[in-house]
Structure 1
Amino acid sequence: MRATERYLKHATRGLWGKARQNVRLELRGAIEDKIHRHRLLGLTEEEATRAALRDLGDPHTVARELNRVHTLPHAARAALLAGVATLLGVQALAGVPVVRAISGSSGEECRKFVASPPEQRSAWERERYEQLLREKNGVAGLLHWCRAYAESRSDLLLLSDLVAAFEAAGIRLTPVIGADNLYQLSFSGGPGIYTLYLRDQNKVIDGEKTIQTNALLQNLLTSLPQHIPLRLVGLDNPTLQVGPAQLKIGTESNPVRATDLYALPIINDLEAKLGSLSKHRATLGIAFEDSLVYSPADKALRVGGPDGSLYAVVTNEPVFTPLGAPVNYVLRVRATRDGLIPLEQSAFCNAQRPCNSRVVSTAQELLNATERREAAALVYSVDSADLHDLNLTPLPASRVRLIPYP
């Protein structure tokens, strides 16, 4: 406790009266929260305190930043001092290591997509191709659009960035000699060594090893026990918290969406749920945001709730494969905007073959609708506070309205 008091004394030097009292209160809360997180990793109280104070940074630097606020106009100064925790959060975020995302596309996929003979396309691929030709004003426009999309994708993470970010955040990754993609993971000052298998590391781009972006969470969930906190904060270029460590995933030039990161853990859970109820094998595909297979949203689900609330939507959209192939279910993980979940129009849905025509309340009702060849959607709210336990709760159909997208 003496170490905490010394930190608070130095960090608030130069502040007086009510401002100093408020800052001390918020700083103390931030320190206690960090101590709790370090204790979860097995550190003693003294070790956790040292780690927490180290995380917050040099107290003299904090004091200089807080005193610099006093040079601002009164209104701005009052706002910043009233929310010193936000100020410290921004300051801390600036020191959070970043893992860059890149596109794994060479543009060759676009050339093949545009140039492949019609007989090599499935029925829905031909339909989608003709639709895109009309939308993009011919082959040249389609090729330009496809390449621009491919270059903007963020489907790979640089492995060197990931290792460096873990190290900077106090997590040591040690390659296992003779085993590709296998690492020993340990926390600075914490007990326990865990085996992390970074599978899906299957591309080398400009000499850099990479890992599939949407596989990262699944790898961590497989490797780390439940007492190690694991969560995402934010929707665009989210901050990944692993125990007491933080690292930022994605950049402005190649952004990463948290909804796409959640998709793989969620789909594994839902496949098991549907598979346990269905007499046929339930196969799910993922509709990532900005997917080539989907047009901009033309429908939406009105669910209410605050913006940024996370939902998983499962639809029974048929994929045009040879006759007799099972119906696929499609998963969209989306966050609400103005109380709405956007539903992109899939290429194989039209006036003759509508998708998402009604909302159901349970997985069994979705399976029953599929048996009757009726298009339906099931909506789950997602509690993402703990990635080890992504709670999915189906919403009653009475709480969801399917409407045209505004």
Structure 2
Amino acid sequence: MRSLYNLSLATALVFAGSAQAENKGFFIVTNKADENSVVGYQADDSGIYKISGEYSTGGKGTGDLEIPDLKKDPSHPLANGDDPLISANSLSMTADGRYLAVVNPGDATVSLMSIDAEGALNVVNTVDAPDQFPISLAFHDNLLAVAGVGMNNSAGSIGMYQIVDGKLQPVAGSLRDLKARPSTIAFSSTGDFVIVNELVTGEVKIFGVQGGSLSAEPVSQVSSPRDAADRFQAIPVGFAVSGDTILMSEARFLTPDFMLRKGNGEVALSPLYSWQTGSLSTYKLSPNGAVSLVSGDVLTGDGVESGEIANCWVAVLHDGTTLWAANALSSSISSFRIRENGTAALLNARAFKDPSETLFFSDIEVSADGSEIYQLVGNRGQVMVFSILSNGDLELKQTIGGLPELGTYGLVVY
């Protein structure tokens, strides 16, 4: 007998397949250093995706250089160019589909772009970011929350912007200094709170949204879980918000004393270093902004030394029942069941896996109709399109090129 979970997912997919999705597609940022741009992809009548256009943001990227050091070291996993921001939500779309906002890390700006009926983009205006290297942003109605990294990993801040008379402008007095490097920013489902995680400290902080600005201090915060003394540090990168549940990716690449562990070629994408199994943790956000851990350190595998590594990005099905996690250094995608109470359980550590383990899996999203997964490959300049099967596994449908080989970031669907 099929489980209620599988019936729920199958029903959702049947509904998604019958939904009308005009101009079904997605956008990705090139991060070109001379002139940053956004590439649009659209599906034709047969469901095959093609590039629909490339649109200048009016700002600059960093090319294949990773922030904040902007130095190239092909042997180092944090400086080889395939992951310039170590963040998610680097572009965001308004709920009505009229505007797209994108970060430009090369010249510390944020661009607002309009979206026409055909999916083409036009720059509306470009404004200064809250910090040296903007990395993540999120819309709620006409408000835009932005996170930026300063000149080193002990800096960083967040700030609020708003669309006024069709243009983006900063909200005066909204800048908040984190004194730590942020990774990803998002609004709560209600828009009453802004959620930001910190890359190295592992802190998840909740700020109140008050009169279009931010509370002076976090209204609550929680540390990423690490119960065992020999468990590697939880490095949160991307997260998703589903109702009152926060679903957080955790790469486990720093030892308990915040060092990289030497490797012997076990990791094809980073042969000089080795990692522990990645994880997913979930949190509940109360109506007053209190955040609390629900499921901590749910492994992307059977053991801390034998599973998929570097879970850095997540995407959740629209009904909140299924989550997929991109394991950057294992070239794999894990699937998780998410219950209504926010608890998470691993379904399949390898819902998809490329056996070569040489593809760097970065930003991941579910299609607007819930039937497909889009996966950015950060070291190939490609996007992989997967069909979602009834058990949550993924079947490769198409691989699309047309992006710079290194340095791309961000993925938003429409």
Q: TM-score, normalised by structure 2?
A: 0.26
Higher helix share: 1
Q: TM-score, normalised by structure 1?
A: 0.26
Between structure 1 and structure 2, the one with the greater Rg is: 1
Higher strand share: 2
